[in-house]
Amino acid sequence: MKVLILASGRGSNFEAILKASKNGTLSVDVVGLVCDRECNAINIANSGSVPVSVLKPKDYNSKDEYTKKLIEIVGSYNPDYIILAGYMRIVPSELIDLYPLKIINIHPSLLPEFKGKDAIKQAWDAGVKTTGVTVHFVNDKMDAGLIISQEKVPVPSTLESLEENIHKVEHVLYIKAIKMLTQELKCAIVSKCLMGENVRYDGGNKYSKRVETFINNFKGVVLKVCPELDAGLGVPRNPMDIINGKVISRTGQDLSQQIESTCKRIVRSIDPKIKTLAVLKDRSPSCGKSLPYGMFAETLIKELGENVLVVTEEEI
Ligand code: GRF
């Protein structure tokens, strides 16, 4: 898999990724480095013979022009994943549209705590006993995409040693997360309605372009599901709600068993040893992830545990 790094600073995360790809810990090709300013990351790229593109916003007349150029440069590397390693700019939504669930970031706090700049100092100033590191997908909200992995770091007696400890953890956690995405993630599950299929109770659908792009570019098994349809319920059908953990149709029928056994059947067709990413329609009694969990999301989490990441269309 080809990975492209975006960085703005020291580049120690970039260096750790490059080292892991050179010594075989990570089976990825670091195809390039894109920076928004002159920075130390460029020196690391040069000594590792990694091609560099520097794109300074001040060299462009408008944000649109800059975004267009960024998209062109990124596209020229044809990356499978874009890895932010201390990249100090907001990623334009036009770039996310092209690489949904393919852009990842590392943040030096236990998100959602201490978003934004100087997260280590924010945690220090807040006097917390434990902070940490988060690797997450990038979406349109700052430091708010789906969390891929996190690790706690206890706060020591000085800010300097906290910074040092955080960076040490970053360099290990990032490699693990990149390895998981590029080498171990072999199955994607998607709610059929997000692909534009006419499966919803009312005959409408919830097509999402980003979901479609993600699925079309996914290298692995793709399973398109609609637990309600797979349970034998037709279109149109009566809407349902989750009431006290049960799936109740608006006509008062208890459909829990029917939906639950269908969810189990689908989930048990997945190899529990491989990593799976499920992209689900939220707020649905079968698929939905928000509490109370839809039965499908709940079954996925129960049966696959740490080997599944569940993301909703709003989160990508
Ligand atoms: C890291 O702390 C990372 O979590 C944050 O920016 C910093 C980059 O450090 N996003 P480096 O440039 O990789 O050394």
> Which of 106, 109, 133, 178 has most ligand 1 atoms within 8 Å of CB, for mutation?
106
Q: Can you give the pLDDT at residue 202? A: 86
For 21-32, the pLDDT digits (tens) are 999 999 999 999
Spatial distance between the Cα atoms of 199 and 195, rounded to a whole number of angstroms: 10
Query: Atom 1 in ligand 1: which residue has the minimum CA distance?
Result: 86
* Nearest CA among 164, 166, 251 for reference residue 201: 251
Q: Which numbered atom of ligand 1 lies nearest the CA of 39?
A: 12
According to DSSP, the β-strands at 130-137 and 52-54 are: unpaired
| Range 209-226 average pLDDT | 96
Mean per-residue pLDDT over the chain, rounded:
95
The neighbour count for residue 96, using CB atoms within 10 Å, is 21
For 30-56, the pLDDT digits (tens) are 999 999 999 999 999 999 999 999 999
Q: What's the pTM?
A: 0.95
Kind and range of the H or E element at 212? Answer: helix 209-217
Spatial distance between the Cα atoms of 265 and 126, rounded to a whole number of angstroms: 47
Q: Is 19 exposed, middle or buried (0-12, 13-18, 19+ CB in 10 A)?
A: middle
- Residue count of the chain, please give it: 316
For 250-273, the pLDDT digits (tens) are 999 999 999 999 999 999 999 999
Spatial distance between the Cα atoms of 45 and 61, rounded to a whole number of angstroms: 28
Q: Angle 211-281-286 (CA atoms, 0-180°, nearest 5)? A: 145
Residue 67 predicted with pLDDT over 90: yes
Does the Cβ of 264 fall within 6 Å of ligand 1? no
Does the Cβ of 132 fall within 6 Å of ligand 1? no
For 198-212, the pLDDT digits (tens) are 898 888 778 899 999
Kind and range of the H or E element at 177? Answer: helix 159-179
Residue 59 predicted with pLDDT over 80: yes
Query: Atom 7 in ligand 1: which residue has the minimum CA distance?
Result: 86
